[in-house]
Structures are given as C-alpha cells and as structure tokens.
C-alpha cells in the first residue's frame, strides 16, 4: 500500500491508514545522533588525578596546596598570596620536585571560574597532577 494515491480507495472510501514507518526511522536516527553527541560532550570534561593513599606502594611527596576563599582570595600552603606570588610559588614547587601534585581547596561559594583559573596557572607552570579537596559527609 506504499503507492496509494490521494483519491478514493478501491472500494470507493477514503484512505484512513497513515504509514508511520518513516517517522519512526527519523526519530531513531535522531536518537542515535543525540546519544553519540552526548558521549562526546561528557568526554570533554576536566580530567583530575586523585592522590594516592598513604598505604600505596609508591613513595609519596607532600603536595602543593592552594586554598581559594569565597571572595576569591588565594593562599598557598596556608599563607595568603597574590596571583603573581602564587605563580612564583608554583614555579619553585615544580623546580624542587618535577612530579609535584596540586591540591586545590575551594570554598563552597567560590566561583568556578576562579578554581579553573588556578588549575590553569598550575598547568602553565608544569604541574600535571591535580586533586580537588572535599569534605566527607557521613
């Protein structure tokens, strides 16, 4: 019945059936496209390497720690610093230990852009391992 005309059917009545197969095909193709693009978007997320536990077999070094307050102020190792001072401290940390990791502790109300900016500063200075410090809730 794929080649039916718009006129009357063979018995003189109008055509009442609608072929929905093409619509189902289009919907399935759109679903597949959305599923593929959704996995691509998820893969663009920021990769974070978490530090090893104290019971691991590898030797651990003390990581560099940056704290970001809710108003955007920075602290390196518990000492308040400006952004240029932070860059200098990150550079010296990399020179002291090329395999240094950075632990970023940010206030719950700190701006996301500020956290990403600090991580970007560390990447520019050669730090490749990052961890985000969180508080465990029990």
Structure tokens at 100: 């240094």
3-state secondary structure of 17: coil
Across-strand partners of 130?
102
Mean pLDDT of 79-86: 90
Q: Is the pLDDT of residue 60 over 60?
A: no
In the chain, the domains with their CATH numbers are 64-132 (3.30.420.270)
Question: Tell me, what's the pLDDT at 46?
Answer: 40
Mean pLDDT of 95-105: 87
Instruction: Count helices and strands (H / E) in the chain.
Output: 3, 5
Q: What is the pLDDT of residues 20-30, one digit of tens each?
A: 888 999 999 99
Most confident of 6-15, 55-64, 81-90: 81-90
pLDDT, greater one: 114 or 63: 114
pTM, entire model = 0.54
Q: Would you place residue 41 in the very low, low, confident or very high pLDDT band (cuts 50, 70, 90)?
A: low
Query: How many residues does this entry show for the chain?
Result: 138
Question: Tell me, what's the pLDDT at 9?
Answer: 55
Positions of E strands within the chain: 64-68, 74-76, 79-81, 101-106, 129-132
Instruction: Report the range of poorest mean pLDDT among 39-48, 102-111, 120-129.
Output: 39-48
């Amino acid at each position: 019945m794929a080649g039916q005309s718009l006129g009357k059917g063979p018995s003189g009545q109008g055509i009442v059936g609608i072929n929905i197969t093409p619509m189902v095909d289009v919907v399935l193709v759109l679903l597949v496209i959305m599923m593929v693009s959704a996995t691509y978007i998820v893969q663009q997320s920021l990769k974070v390497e978490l530090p090893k536990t104290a019971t691991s077999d590898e030797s651990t070094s003390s990581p560099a720690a940056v704290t970001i307050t809710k108003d955007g102020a920075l602290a390196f190792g518990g000492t308040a610093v400006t952004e240029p001072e932070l860059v200098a401290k990150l550079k010296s940390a990399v020179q002291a230990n090329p395999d240094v990791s950075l632990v970023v502790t940010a206030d719950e109300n700190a701006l996301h852009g500020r956290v990403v900016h600090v991580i970007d500063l560390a990447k520019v200075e050669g730090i490749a391992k990052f961890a985000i410090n969180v508080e465990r809730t029990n």
